[in-house]
Copies of this chain bind each other. A is one copy, B any other.
């Protein structure tokens, strides 16, 4: 594919660069987690539940940037696999708090290695002194569409 050094080149736009970086990350995550029998949303779900036990389906969905419906499927899969538990009913409200099982904690611990390595590889790719600024800029991009 020939280079096209135009001022209007799509590849010069911020959105394109962001998408490309995210695609690279997603690919690395998919490959790394497959060895542990987990998908990216499943891992994200486990990680969130480890840090904040008792999160509901909707809260997990927001935390992993998918819809409630998608997270529902993910939770069902994790539940069938015995990685999490969720009460069938609740006394107050409708939100069902999810918790990791012992097996869930084990699987999460096993998968963390590859994910941490990927994150470290990302961090190592940018000059150390630029990292805090990069994190702040990414936050600004995330908030750009919050109204």
Chain B residue contacts of A55, Cβ below 8 A: 1
Task: Produce 1/0 per residue, A126-147, CB < 8 A to B.
Answer: 1000110111011111111100
Do most interface residues of chain A lie in helix, strand or loop, or is the interface mixed?
helix
Whether the Cβ atoms of A27 and B145 lie closer than 8 Å is yes
A22 touches which of B22, B52, B115, B131 (Cβ 8 Å): B22
Task: Produce 1/0 per residue, A1-41, CB < 8 A to B.
Answer: 11010101110111101111111111111000000000000
Whether the Cβ atoms of B48 and A10 lie closer than 8 Å is yes
Judge if A110 is at the interface, Cβ distance under 8 Å.
no
Judge if A118 is at the interface, Cβ distance under 8 Å.
yes
Q: How long is the Cα–Cα vector from A134 to B44 in the complex, in angstroms?
A: 26
